[in-house]
Amino acid sequence: MAEPGGGGGSGGGAAARAGWAVRSWWLITGMWIRSTMAYRASFALSLAANTLITFLDFAVLLLMFAHTRQLAGWTLAETGFLYATSSVALGAANVLVGSVGGLGERVRSGSLDTMLIRPAPALAQLAAERFSLRRLGRLLQAFAVLGWSLTALDVHWTWDRVLMVPALLLCGTVIFCALFVGCSCVQFWWGEAAELQNAVTYGGATVLQYPPTVFAKELVAGTVFGVPLAFVNWLPALHVLGRTDPLGLPAAFRFASPLAAALCVLAAGLAWRAGLRAYRSTGS
């Protein structure tokens, strides 16, 4: 049997290595799930609190629409669609790799070293660290809102629009995963920079929950050409909802999310490699 985990790049093949990374992630995640189950009462309480908080989050939106029929030209169902897609993508990314934010702490305490001496990929170990089922709460709420908005939307559901929804969720999740990892890598150099990652991911997701027309054009342009958040839901949603682009970009941008996601993954991968190399050469 081949040893995909070994070799550090030589042999094994990229697919086998990715498979091994996913398997390592699962193994360690399973350990954390069982660890939290050692404290069932605490788990139940935090799950309840988490779910309550995320529902209050959506209640803010409902409250807003109790006073107005439209928000910057978007209906409640349309805004709910943005809210839900942004939350699903962020929630799924948080479940998968949210723990990489703790990188700075691990660099400081030296516990990253214990991950580097195990034969499982360090990124997979880091991503699975302190995994908690609690994080599923946000995801469940997001899917509930998504289900409701899909039935409430006044959209002519053609096949391309129907297929666009799962594609959007998948690409959005990948983009957020890459942002989690990429922004956390800054902590290889500046251990205290966890807030950057939080601002881009959680902050970004909050921005995406509202129609782009709410914001200044410069900010929207920044999410297209800078940090590519617009590709998570704003741009593909324009196609699903049949709306015009506030920036007047070519229609191709609405279908460019897979490309944006691939570029994000590439950038995050390079950042991770550079960070790990810097860590291993400074040992700080």
Partner 1 sequence: MAVIEVEDVRRNFTVRTREGRWRRGRREVRAVDGLSFTVGEGECVGYIGPNGAGKSTTVKMLTGILVPSGGRLRVAGVDPAARRAELARRIGVVFGQRTTLWWDLPLRDSYELARRIYRIPDARYRANLDRCVELLDLGPLLDTPVRQLSLGQRMRGDLAAALLHDPSVLYLDEPTIGLDTVSKAKVRAFLRETNRERRTTVLLTTHDLTDIEQLCGRVMVIDHGRLVLDGPLERLHEIGGSERTLVVDLAEAHPPIDLPGVRVARTEGPRQWLAFPARQSAAPIVAAVAARYPLVDLSVREPAIEDVIARIYAGNAVPSAPAP
Binding flags for partner 1, 72-111, as an x/- string (CB under 8 A): --------------------------------------xx
Q: Could you tell me if 124 and 21 are in contact, meaning their C-beta atoms sit under 8 angstroms apart?
A: yes
Applying CB under 8 A, among 119, 147, 226, 242 the residue interacting with partner 1 is: 119
Asked whether position 27 contacts partner 1 by CB under 8 A, the answer is yes
Applying CB under 8 A, among 130, 217, 273, 280 the residue interacting with partner 1 is: 280
CA–CA dist 154, 128 (Å, integer): 40
Supply the minimum distance, in Å, between the C-beta of residue 181 and partner 1. Answer: 19
Supply the minimum distance, in Å, between the C-beta of residue 73 and partner 1. Answer: 51
Per-residue CA distances from 168 to 155, 209, 231, 240 (Å): 17, 14, 8, 10
In the bound state with partner 1, the residue whose beta carbon lies nearer, of 5 and 172, is 5
State the distance between the two ends of the chain, measured CA to CA, in whole angstroms.
37
Asked whether position 15 contacts partner 1 by CB under 8 A, the answer is no
Question: Considering only 87-95, 114-122, 172-180, 199-207, which stretch makes contact with partner 1 by CB under 8 A?
Answer: 114-122
Applying CB under 8 A, among 14, 15, 34, 252 the residue interacting with partner 1 is: 34
HSE at residue 60, side-chain half, CA atoms within 13 A, is 9
In the bound state with partner 1, the residue whose beta carbon lies nearer, of 24 and 209, is 24
Applying CB under 8 A, among 104, 121, 211, 212 the residue interacting with partner 1 is: 121
Asked whether position 3 contacts partner 1 by CB under 8 A, the answer is yes
CA 87 to chain centre: 9
Supply the minimum distance, in Å, between the C-beta of residue 22 and partner 1. Answer: 13
Question: Considering only 184-192, 210-218, 221-229, 276-284, which stretch makes contact with partner 1 by CB under 8 A?
Answer: 276-284
Q: How many CB atoms lie within 10 A of CB 154?
A: 9
Tokens at residue 89, please? 């993508």
Residues 6+ apart with CB under 8 A from 76: 61, 62, 65, 69, 152
Question: Considering only 25-33, 56-64, 153-161, 209-217, which stretch makes contact with partner 1 by CB under 8 A?
Answer: 25-33
Q: Could you tell me if 192 and 101 are in contact, meaning their C-beta atoms sit under 8 angstroms apart?
A: no
Asked whether position 7 contacts partner 1 by CB under 8 A, the answer is yes
HSE at residue 283, side-chain half, CA atoms within 13 A, is 0
Asked whether position 120 contacts partner 1 by CB under 8 A, the answer is yes
Per-residue CA distances from 223 to 227, 247, 259 (Å): 5, 11, 15
Binding flags for partner 1, 147-176, as an x/- string (CB under 8 A): ------------------------------
Tokens at residue 18, please? 């990715």
Q: Could you tell me if 261 and 231 are in contact, meaning their C-beta atoms sit under 8 angstroms apart?
A: yes
Asked whether position 42 contacts partner 1 by CB under 8 A, the answer is no
Applying CB under 8 A, among 18, 31, 251, 266 the residue interacting with partner 1 is: 31
